[in-house]
Structure 1
Amino acid sequence: MDSLTLATDDATSSLKTVLHVGCGMADPAKLPADAFPAENWRELRLDIDASVMPDIVASITDMQVLSEGAVDAVWSSHNLEHLRAHEVPLALSEFFRVLRPGGFALMTMPDLQRVAALVAQGLLEEPAYISSAGPIAPIDILYGYRPSIEGGNDFMAHRTGFTVGSLSAHLIRTGFVDVQVESDGRFALWARGVRPA
C-alpha cells in the first residue's frame, strides 16, 4: 500500500494535523484542548480496532500507511503500556518518523512508580481512584482494566510499564529532543518530545 498523502481542502488547509493514535471511538473531548485547540488543529484518528471506525486502521508499531513527516503532532493516551516491552521502541520510532521536523509527540500513560507505592502498602486490589468506568485498583493499572478484559477486550491488557526515568530514556534513545516527562502526582505520566528541525 502506498503511503497516505494528507489531502486538505481550503477550510482545513491552515490547520495543523494531530495523529491521535489508539483513538478509540470518536470523541473530540479525548484531545487535550490546551495542547490541541480546535481552531488550530484537525484530528486524524488511528486505531488497531476497526470497530471504532478510525480514519486509519493500523498498529502503532507499524504506521507505514503514513509517509515520513506527515503530521505536526502525535497524541497517545494510554497506549504504550498495551505493547510488549520490545515493541515500545518500534512504536516510538513510528511516532518520530511520521512527525514533520519540529513536530512533537505528546503522551500519557500509567506511572508505575506511584502504583508500586500502593502495591508496597498491600493495596493491590483496593480502589486507588474512581474513573468514569468505575473503581480503578493498582492491579488494573498494572495489568489492564479487569472488567474490560473479562468482557473479551484483550486490547485493554497491559504488557509493559514506565517510570519518569525509563520513559525519558526511551524517548531520548529514539531521537526526540526537548524531552519532558513528569508525573501528575497521581497515577499518570505525561511526556513530550520533539523531532529535531
Structure 2
Amino acid sequence: MTQPKVLNVGGNSKAIALPPIFDGYEHLLLDIDPTGKPDLLCDARELTSTPAAQYDAVYCSHNLEHYFRHDVPRGLAGFIHVLKPQGFAFIRVPDIQEVMRIAVERRLEPDDVLYQSASGPIQVLDVLYGWGAQIARSGVDFFAHKTGFSPALMNKTLRAAGFANVYIATGNLEVGALAFLQPPDAATRQKLGLPASG
C-alpha cells in the first residue's frame, strides 16, 4: 500500500507540524514564497493547471481568508482538482462570528488585545484584517484578510464548491472544516472522529 499524500497549502514551511490526523502521510508543501522550499511553488488558484487527483488530502490552515471572496471558489476548485475521489480537505480559518461576539461582549475596540499568542498580543483587528505586524514587516499585501467566515458560511461555501460531505467544528476562535468529495467510509470516519453516519 502506498503512503497517502497531503498537500499543505500555504503552510510556509515543513518544519511547522501538521495536525495528528496526518500522521503517516507524506507531507508536500504548496506556497507562493520560495523561502520555505515548497514542493509546489504556486498560488492555490493555479492548482487546476496541475495534474489531477494526486493527493489524498489537502490541508489549508489560515490561508483561505487571504483571498477575495470572488477568488475563494477558484482556490477550492483547485483543491477539488488535486484531490483523489475519496480525498478530503481540512480547512481552518478565523471564526469571524465568534470574534465579533467576544468583541461586543467585552466591549473591545478594534485595536484592543483579543488574546496573547506566542508571537505577541493579537488585537481584534489582527483577526479581522490580518496580522498587522506581519503585513508591515513583510510588505506583502497577500497576508491581509480579504474574506471572513462564520461556521454557516464555511459550510455553504464548501458545498457550493462541490464538496458533498462537510463537517464543521468551532473553537479557539477558528472554524475547522473537514470536506469530502464523496461520503467517507467507516474507517475514515472512525480515524477522524466523525459521526457514524450523516
The alignment yields a C-alpha RMSD, in angstroms, of 1.5
Q: What is the rounded CA distance, in whole Å, between the counterparts of 2:35 and 2:49 in structure 1?
A: 19
Runs of 4+ aligned residues of structure 1 deviating over 6 Å after TM superposition are none
1:154 aligns with 2:154: no
TM-score normalised to structure 1 length: 0.86
The residue that corresponds to 1:18 in the other structure is 6
Q: Which stretch shifts more, 162-171 or 152-161? A: 152-161
- Of 61, 67, 90, the match for 2:45: 61
The residue that corresponds to 1:189 in the other structure is 175
What amino acid maps onto 1:67 in structure 2?
Answer: P
Whichever structure has more helix as a proportion of its residues is 2
The one-character-per-residue Cα deviations of 1:10-63 (angstroms, maximum 9, x if unpaired) are: xxx72100000001022151x102x101xx210110001122211111111111
How many residue pairs get aligned? The number is 180
What 5-or-longer segments of structure 2 have no aligned partner?
Answer: 184-198
Q: Which stretch shifts more, 120-129 or 16-25? A: 120-129
Q: What is the rounded CA distance, in whole Å, between the counterparts of 1:27 and 1:191 in structure 2?
A: 23
1:87 Cα shift?
0.3
1:77 aligns with 2:64: no
Q: What is the rounded CA distance, in whole Å, between the counterparts of 2:31 and 2:89 in structure 1?
A: 16
Give identity over the alignment, percent.
Answer: 34
Q: What is the rounded CA distance, in whole Å, between the counterparts of 1:187 and 1:135 in structure 2?
A: 15
Q: What is the rounded CA distance, in whole Å, between the counterparts of 1:178 and 1:109 in structure 2?
A: 18
2:13–2:29 Cα contact (<8 Å) kept: no
What amino acid maps onto 1:149 in structure 2?
Answer: I
Matches within 5 A, 1:12-161: 14-29=2-17, 31-33=18-20, 35-37=21-23, 40-120=24-104, 121-151=107-137, 152-161=139-148
The alignment partner of 2:175 has SS state of strand
2:14–2:27 Cα contact (<8 Å) kept: no
2:10–2:32 Cα contact (<8 Å) kept: yes
What 5-or-longer segments of structure 1 have no aligned partner?
Answer: 1-12
The alignment partner of 1:128 has SS state of strand
Q: What is the rounded CA distance, in whole Å, between the counterparts of 2:126 and 2:44 in structure 1?
A: 22
The residue that corresponds to 1:3 in the other structure is none
